[in-house]
Structure 1
Amino acid sequence: MPQETLRQNPLWRAEDLGKPIPNTPHAISMCLPRWQDVVGYEEKDPATMEKLHLGYPRFFYHPLVEAAAHKFRKSGDECVQLYTTRNAAERCAAYLWVNDPLARLEVRAVNGSSVYLISFPEKLADAAKAYWQHAGEGISSRCAEALLNGIPAPDASAATALIKTRISEFSGAKPEDIYLFPSGMAAIHAIYIAARKTRMDAPTAQFAFPYGDTLKLQEKFNPHQALFYQRGDADDLAQLEKDLARQTISGLFCEFPSNPLLTCVDLPRLRELADQFRFPIIIDETLGACINQNTLPVSDVTAISLTKFFSGTSDVMGGALILNEDAPFYQTFRNELRAIHEPEAFYGTDVIQLEKDSRDYRPRVEKINQTARTVSEYLRQHPAVDSVYYPALTDKSRYDQFRRPDGGYGGLLSFVLNDPRKHTEKVYDRLEITKGPNLGTSFSLCCPFVLIAHYNELEWAEKAGASRWLIRISVGTEEADELIARLERALPPANP
């Protein structure tokens, strides 16, 4: 298996630049082995970009997706995107019209399939790409492959039921309160739409440093933008309470724990404020992986990227929303999701692949939990390391409030070196771990997350506590001793 190959032979050398992670036709990540490769990617340096033929599907148009768009456009100069449903294509059109109310846009069906194409002028290409990235509703490479070959979508109802049952067993929610989406961001986008409909004239709130696209979604898709509480600490809680006394919000988004700082917000206090001021709480629990923690009782909705730990392969995308049947907005969200959620948006072949990938979910995550905790302790004690971010070390008491009796602390950790400006680039370049965006894979994967996610706003990120020199590691199922040996070879001695 490609994943087994990456556990034993990681992609980390200079010559690995641009290789798919893993080596499959539908890989969703690419190798950026050196610090300067990340800089080259962010600055769109031609020498770097010519090596990158695919990447994370919301940021890159996969070659199969590009080929399908080329095949179904009417003329060579027509700009198009493909979506799995008409409603998704029309949401993109609405977003583009906000950017240019006079733009000529067309939404049309593709060969009688359930796929729809949106045509737009070239001047809106960047705005269309932003929608593709933040909404997460574009067609997958498997869907594009089927379109190119004239293959109808398979019946994935059995796989859908199995995935829902699996999530139900882990989360405690009823299968009918679980909604599947083609990506984690598509799930967050759907509940964002539902939350906004409760108060169209109000902003949303983002509490604590977020995964970037969740905040960008709120900032770009709502004229009221978002209230942002960047650290999510006691001072931010006090400020949130003051702001709520002056204005309503349509929903509060947070992560538990956060990415990449692995902090844990005060969920019980947020729940008190939500009940007092009547707004829903949406918790992204991707890093907790359902198995490790249970935040559903204090949320109205939890969201999870199934692309990550649930799949573990870096070969398929998916997302889910889980409704809390005891929460105040339960019936409201059920009603809204009846209109928003379209099962056919999650392409059948992807659903079937995700079901196969997730069959070993529990033992895989349990192994990752054990290894990650051992690695975090090694890093915490290493003299070259200044800071380690991991739930067992960062806000542990808060995490433990929601940790399941048999749950661990997850597979994601981050660290910053002493004198990071001097050492970080060299350490990253010689670290023998596969390097590229994504997390939750069965093979270890690392990236300079703040650099790659916030390159054009590094000072902003650092004010929120996220160092530009932070290295994030998603721990896989390798043995802890093996990963520690790789780190030992990369890290500088205490007094170089």
Structure 2
Amino acid sequence: MLGGDPQVSGFEDPDEFGFETRAIRAGQPHDPYTGAVVTPISLATTFAQEAVGQPRHGYEYGRTGNPTRHAYQVCVASLEGARHGFAFASGLAASDALLRVLRPGDSLLLGDDAYGGTFRLIDKVFGNAGVGLAAVDLTAPDKIRDAWTPSTRMVWLETPTNPLLTVFDIEAICAVTHELGGIVVVDNTFATPYLQQPLALGADAVLHSATKYLGGHSDVVGGFVATDDDELADHLVFTQNAVGAVPSPFDCYLALRGTKTLGVRMDRHGENAHAVVELLEEHPAVRSVLYPGRPDHLGHDIACRQMSGFGGMVSFRLHGGRAAAEQVAASTKVFTLAESLGAVESLIEHPGAMTHASVAGSALEVPDDLVRLSVGLETESDLLDDLGAALDTAPSAAN
């Protein structure tokens, strides 16, 4: 089941092929009419039927199913090792669809370091509909037991987290949650399926903001959910169609195009991030560096166990507080001051004033001296020179 679309394999036995091959071929057969090697963009909103109630090729209406969307769903589901995949119009639309399994009176546990938009959706939208929320330090999975109540149904986590790059033990969290009768949703946006496979570690559903690394070029907004759970898949296929927060065929084409190069991009993101971390570690204006690849990172051993690389996201704190953080964020030229992440260009932001302003005053509030980097694919020396110059404008520890 892939979002209500017909079952069409991109090529034979995709599971026998490696990640990069599946990224290029899974769900993407050559066009049978022209031989085109790129999946066509099918813009049709409706499809001719052989007879009443008998769609010719399994498609009937563009909201319910679309050939381009189907190709994209097959591909990303394959990369996550999932039997079911569902594309949505944004990461928050994907989150909304998953959260709709909860009913008034239910509650969920959210990692106490999470994207501000996720917190806002759960707290303000689903909270007003009677769904409860508690923030939990998931670095200690047994704290789930302490926070669990008869109404708790779900544990929701990011790993690595946004923006503090905390790493949670997916397998341990799933073991505790499943013992208590709940389900686990893992936001895999930062790691991507190239670096981390949450379903294989016990997660019930994997979420992506496809706007980020999957699309990879800052030119498409999208979301994705992958799961092996048939009951959850039934819920998602119904919600995808009934609510209608689906991506356009062109959005699916762009996301699928980006996904083809995910592996090689993530390798370069990681290489550049490693060099940036080394610069930050030596600069006197930097108070601390938050990156799972550092041996002194609290979650480093877990990251080594459940990830194949450490990714392209780096956060750091400055001795000069908020003023220094804002100064550095506004002083770069190669790093663009902008929200979002995961694309070919390097971005810099101040989470407290930008992406995470919505969690101010809550248990998820982020430090005001924090700067977040999305390290892109530019020439390494250009990134280091640019960031180094910006850091030189901030006060050092000696000051």
Which bin holds the TM-score, normalised by the shorter protein? 0.7 to 0.9
User: 1:292 and 1:226 mapped to 2: Cα distance?
Assistant: 32
Q: 2:81 aligns with which of 172, 193, 216?
A: 172
CA distance in 2, matches of 1:335, 1:456: 32
C-alpha offsets along residues 80-124 of structure 1, whole Å, 9 cap, x if unaligned?
A: xxxxxxxxxxxxxxxxxxxxxxxxxxxxxxxxx89xxxxxxxxxx
- How much has 1:485 moved relative to structure 2? 0.7
Residues 346 and 216 (structure 1 numbering): CA distance in 2 closer, same or farther, change over 3 Å?
same
2:245 & 2:131 partners in 1: Cα distance?
30
Aligned to 1:254: 157
- For structure 1, which runs of at least 5 residues remain unmatched after alignment? 1-112, 115-151
Q: Which amino acid aligns with 1:445?
A: L
Look up the SS of the partner of 1:443 in the other structure.
coil
The match for 2:97 is 190
- Partner of 2:152: helix, strand, or coil? coil
- Give unmatched runs, 5+ long, in structure 2: 1-44, 47-60
Q: Secondary structure at the residue paired with 1:254?
A: strand
> What is aligned with 1:396?
300
Matched, 1:410 2:333: no
Question: What residue number does 1:57 align with?
Answer: none
Among candidates 156, 163, 178, match of residue 72 of structure 2: 163
Structure 2 counterpart SS, 1:388: strand
Aligned-pair CA distance for 1:345: 2.3
CA deviations on 1:316-352 (whole Å, 9 max, x unpaired) are: 11111110x3xxxx23212212321227822122222
Map of 1:483 onto structure 2 = 383
- Matches of 1:159 and 1:214, distance apart in 2: 28
Look up the match of 2:34. none
How far does residue 304 in structure 1 lie from its aligned partner after superposition?
0.7
Q: 2:209 aligns with which of 297, 305, 314?
A: 305
Matched, 1:368 2:261: no
Higher helix share: 1
- Shift, 1:202, TM fit: 1.6
Letter in 2 for 1:162: A
SS in 2 for 1:482: helix
Partner of 2:40: none
Q: Secondary structure at the match of 1:476?
A: coil
Out of 159, 165, 173, the residue aligned to residue 270 of structure 1 is 173
The residue correspondences of 1:220-231 to structure 2 (distance < 5 A) are 220=124, 221-222=126-127, 223-231=129-137
**Which residue does the alignment assign to 2:373?**
473
Amino acid across the alignment from 1:227: L
> C-alpha separation between the residues in 2 aligned to 1:358 and 1:306?
9
Q: 1:280 aligns with which of 179, 183, 202?
A: 183
How do 1:24-63 residues align onto structure 2 when only pairs under 5 Å count? none
- Tell me the TM-score normalised to structure 1 length: 0.61
Residue in structure 1 matched with residue 235 of structure 2 by the alignment: 336
Equivalent position SS for 2:340: coil
Task: Supply the RMSD in Å over aligned alpha carbons.
Answer: 2.6
Letter in 1 for 2:288: S
Q: What is the Cα deviation at residue 440 of structure 1?
A: 0.6
Distance between the aligned counterparts of 1:293 and 1:471, measured in 2?
A: 24
Task: Determine if contact 2:350/2:372 at 8 Å carries over to the other structure.
Answer: yes
Instruction: Indicate the SS of the match to 1:427.
Output: helix
